[in-house]
Structure 1
């Protein structure tokens, strides 16, 4: 075989070897599929915001209670003063004693006015405390916002929270307790959206249920029972979703039963249109809701 024929016979073999090398030696490395980790832990700044909002609602309701006290005491004072004046008219023979009683009545009235002034100062101090809490929420939100974006919060929820926080701030500055209560409760709704980002926890649904319960009570305070009844339907929907999400140890399942019974009592009282009784039943339901959340975190 001459030299040319040898070269021609070697070329196909060489090409075949190159193909084998390219096929096996240069094949792309298989990358392991990325497993997206779902965060189970709620970020501390979000917990702090929730705590401040809850405390704000509690203090706003204390202002409502405090505002009623001076009015009740003033009415009692007026009744006592009227009785005293009637008694003085009958004591014609005891003018001197009657004069002393009139003087004592004026002193009591002065003391009552002093007490009322003290109540006003106390309420002013409570507003200052609430204003401080709301200011801190702005700082806490600035800390959490970047985390919320990274964890997948929607732009709509972020803007909604910010607008609600701004409205809450304006109402607190104006010392408008009902407007402040409405916006603080709306913040609970948006907090539920952020809590939904952290899978494996029922916290978001629990907060939505709390929002709906509070909404019924607020409509009751405004004597808008038609809207209160509409909000009751939200409670049923949220409670149904919570039943599916909640995970409790066998020994703690009774807490869920207590919650459902207290919510049923709350709904029945709402139909009676009695605000004071509704508040009592709301407080019981919220307390049971908090217990369920605590037990769920331990299971």
Structure 2
């Protein structure tokens, strides 16, 4: 009888311990959940990235003569087809297609913003920032409608800077600081003559973002390594400002953007798993 009682007590205690462990595990899961931006906000940033890439592609195509473009395409397609006189060139067709893609991208941004705006208000986002972003987005849309590449780049840069403030509403989010660095890189690329000092100030200011990113990514060795690459690429661009060479600055800017994309990918992948 006594042995049976002892056995019963052991079984009850074991059940209590297992129950407590499960409860503890649930608490740990809650604690580990990251405070990241929703997919709708991340989507806006991604579409702006695609617009920047498309405008770069358009500028490259525009700098080619129709004959140069034909030669380039013929190498890709292995054969060059003869076109009847008066028919649109392959260059024109490619430009039309790329512009249509940009139209679709800005439409997606408007839809994603509509999905996200309610969340921004709930998170007590600054109304001035909301208004600022919407104005910049509308101006960007008009520039796209007018097929004005330089104006699109200008309004897109301002849009991503406005957008960064919404990512800052989430304590574990890194994309707010990445967008600020991206804005600085694009703006610094425009440095000419007397603008060199202003460009240096923009790149110097990224130090605050790098510090915040280092704190948030300290436990991830791979991301910390990519962050070091990003920091070094910013320093390289600062050094290149002295030369004032447009091509060099474009290359340094593109390296910064590529390093930002490495950090972006990990963050967006995490968001996809959470939503």
- TM-score range (shorter-chain normalised) is 0.7 to 0.9
Counterpart of 2:247 (choices 258, 276, 283) is: 276
**Structure 2 contact 58–95 (Cα < 8 Å) conserved:** yes
Residues 274, 208 of structure 1: alpha-carbon distance in 2 compared, 3 angstrom cutoff: same
Partner residue of 1:239?
207
Secondary structure at the counterpart of residue 69 of structure 1: coil
The total of aligned residue pairs comes to: 224
The answer on 1:142 being equivalent to 2:114 is yes
User: Could you tell me whether the CA contact under 8 Å between 1:56 and 1:130 is conserved in 2?
Assistant: yes
Contact 1:53 1:184 in 2 (8 A): yes
Q: Which of 229, 232, 256 is the equivalent residue of 2:227?
A: 256
The question of 1:133 aligning with 2:101 is answered no
Matched, 1:188 2:160: yes
Any conservation in 1 of the 2:36–2:172 contact (CA below 8 Å)?
Answer: no
Structure 2 residue ranges without an equivalent (≥5): 1-32, 72-81, 271-275
Displacement of 1:288 in angstroms is 1.8
- Scaled by the length of structure 2, what TM-score is found? 0.72
Partner Cα separation in structure 2 for residue 68 and residue 255 of structure 1: 33
Residue 48 of structure 1 corresponds to which residue in structure 2?
43
Change (3 A) 1:242 1:140: same
Q: Extract unaligned runs of 5+ from structure 1.
A: 1-37, 77-109
Alignment partner, residue 4 of structure 2: none
Residue 82 of structure 1: aligned partner: none
- 1:122 positional shift: 1.3
Indicate the residue corresponding to 2:76 in structure 1: none
Counterpart of 1:12? Answer: none
Normalised TM-score (structure 1): 0.67
Superposed CA deviations along residues 141-188 of structure 1, whole A, max 9, x for unmatched, are 111111111112111101101100110011101100000011111111
Distance 1:258 1:41 in 2: 24
Root-mean-square deviation over aligned CA pairs: 2.9
How has the CA–CA distance of structure 1 residues 287 and 62 changed in structure 2, closer, same or farther, with 3 Å as cutoff? same
Which deviates further from its counterpart, 231-240 or 244-253? Answer: 244-253
Q: C-alpha separation between the residues in 2 aligned to 1:183 and 1:172?
A: 10
Say whether the 8 Å CA contact 2:188–2:202 is kept in structure 1: no
| Mapped contact 2:210–2:231 kept (Cα < 8 A) | no
Equivalent-residue separation in structure 2 for 1:270 and 1:225 (angstroms): 10
Give 3-state SS (helix, strand or coil) of 2:124's partner: coil
Kindly state the Cα deviation for residue 196 of structure 1 after the two structures are TM-superposed.
0.3
Structure 1 partner of 2:61: 66
Q: Is the 1:167–1:183 Cα contact (8 Å) retained in structure 2?
A: yes
- Tell me the CA shift for residue 266 of structure 1: 1.3
3-state SS of 2:205 partner: helix
